[in-house]
A = this chain, B = another copy of it.
Amino acid sequence: MSEMVPPEVRPKPAVPAKPAHVVPSSAHTPHGPGAGGPGSGGSTLLGYIGIDTIIEQMRKKTMKTGFDFNIMVVGHSGLGKSTLVNTLFKSQVSRKSAGWSRDEKIPKTVEIKSVSHVIEEGGVKMKLTIIDTPGFGDQINNNNCWEPIEKYINEQYEKFLKEEVNIARKKRIPDTRVHCCLYFISPTGHSLRQLDIEFMKHLSRVVNLIPVIAKSDTLTPDEKTDFKQRVRKELEICGIEFYPQKEFDEDTEDKSDNDKIREAMPFAVVGSDKEYQVNSKRVLGRKSPWGVVEVENPNHCEFSLLRDFLIRSHLQDLKEVTHNIHYETYRAKRLNDNGGYIYLAMSDHCMLGILCFPVEFVPSAQ
């Protein structure tokens, strides 16, 4: 039992157990008279509440549910797309590793092929889907060869939209939307080709587009610097905005972090899923008679910059921008284009349904 001592009433202690504070928000009373007068404005807390445990609660939920990440690779054959994704995810996750042969014939049209794996690290499960686009840029006439790719991306938005408007919805809508599209630029040292420009022009509007310079071990450091600068300039002239777009920076911290990344892009990368012994360390690399290119050595290439950016700092943002910007843009366009109607031609047992949305007039003053 507690020992009795003279009470000391101290409703607002000068030094709470953990410094924290409470600020009155805009009080609102839906059915009654005005609340939240001067009241409790800006007082300190009487002790620790535990609000910050929300982070730990979210961590636990994520550890249980895992998450989806869908990455698309585009570029003509021989640019090392499969090897790069294997290098990114440190395992044989690419389509070519998963049953397709290297000797597979180049398809006559652009195909879309996807393969999924579950990768677990530190207790976190990621369902990784790699979407490959064999045949892209490999034809004599490559007119409109971005169309099947754009179509695939939009089909995933459409799938999500249909799930979202269902009456009985799934607790978690399966997310097949492309969170990131890596576009492989040939390390020509010259300039972008017309196809590169056309593809990026079309796709940068519908997906998080990240251009990379493929097989950059063919470029000397000076050539690399020059080529990167030239590519950035050409992209700017053509009005192509790659991810992370300036307009979606949320605050000055975002802007400052992303400016550094934008200035360093497109990353000149080298991929490898082979290990070599260098200075008594095992490293992923490509060995030639004149040396070993260490793919994770920032002095050799920018693979590690791409990996850190893509996976370790911006993965969640790629998912959020896909949902909040690209999917929302698709959804709004879809509803507006159809005068608010969506015809749902669903599987076997579903009626053809109609969806019509309100046309809303937002007053210009708002």
Spell out A's residues near B (CB within 8 Å): 1-11, 13, 16, 18, 20-32, 34-40, 43-55, 57-59, 61-64, 67, 88-93, 95, 97-100, 111-124, 126-127, 129, 148, 152, 155, 165-169, 171, 250-251, 273-280, 282-285, 287, 291-292, 294, 297, 307-308, 311-317, 320, 324, 328, 331-332, 335-336, 340, 344, 346, 348-363
**Nearest CB of chain B from residue A148's CB, rounded to whole Å:** 7
- Measured between C-beta atoms, what is the minimum distance from A28 to chain B in Å? 6
Q: Are B354 and A356 in contact (CB under 8 A)?
A: yes
| Assembly CA distance A273 to B348 (angstroms) | 62
Q: Please list 20 pairs of residues, one from A and one from B, whose beta carbons are closer than 8 Å in the complex, sorted by A's number.
A: A2-B283, A5-B279, A7-B274, A8-B277, A9-B276, A11-B274, A25-B118, A28-B114, A30-B152, A32-B111, A32-B113, A43-B91, A43-B92, A48-B90, A48-B121, A49-B88, A51-B121, A61-B316, A167-B360, A349-B363
Copies per assembly: 2
Closest to A3 in B: B279
Contact status A92-B39, CB under 8 Å: yes
Q: Is the CB of B355 within 8 A of A351?
A: no
Which are the 5 A-B pairs with shortest beta-carbon distances? A353-B358, A52-B122, A37-B99, A39-B98, A40-B92
In the complex, are the beta carbons of B346 and A353 less than 8 A apart? no
Query: By the criterion CB–CB under 8 Å, are A62 and B55 in contact?
Result: yes
CB A268 to nearest CB in B, in angstroms, measures 18
- Contact A278 B91, CB 8 Å, known A30-B152, A34-B99, A98-B40: no
Are A126 and B275 closer than 8 Å at their CB atoms? no
**How long is the Cα–Cα vector from A117 to B25 in the complex, in angstroms?**
4
Decide if B275 touches A29 in the complex (CB within 8 Å).
no
- Note all chain B residues with C-beta closer than 8 A to A349: 361-363
Instruction: Give the contacting residue for A4; candidates B52, B120, B152, B291; CB below 8 A.
Output: B291
- Do residues A53 and B312 form an inter-chain contact, with CB atoms below 8 A? yes
Nearest CB of B to A279, in Å = 5
Q: Determine whether the beta carbon of B124 is less than 8 Å from that of A28.
A: no
Find chain B residues with CB under 8 A from A7 CB.
274, 276-277, 287, 292
Residues of B within 8 A of A113 (CB): 29-32, 35
User: Is the Cβ of A57 less than 8 Å from the Cβ of B313?
Assistant: yes
Q: How far is the CA of A67 from the CA of B58 in the complex (A)?
A: 12
Pick the contact of A32: B58, B93, B112, B331 (CB < 8 A).
Answer: B112
Tell me whether B351 and A360 are in contact (CB under 8 A): yes
Min distance, Cβ A213 to any Cβ of chain B, angstroms = 22
Q: Contacts A165-B357, A351-B359 given: A18-B324 contact, CB under 8 Å? A: no
- Contact call B54/A124, Cβ cutoff below 8 A: yes
**Nearest-CB distance from A245 to chain B (Å)?**
15
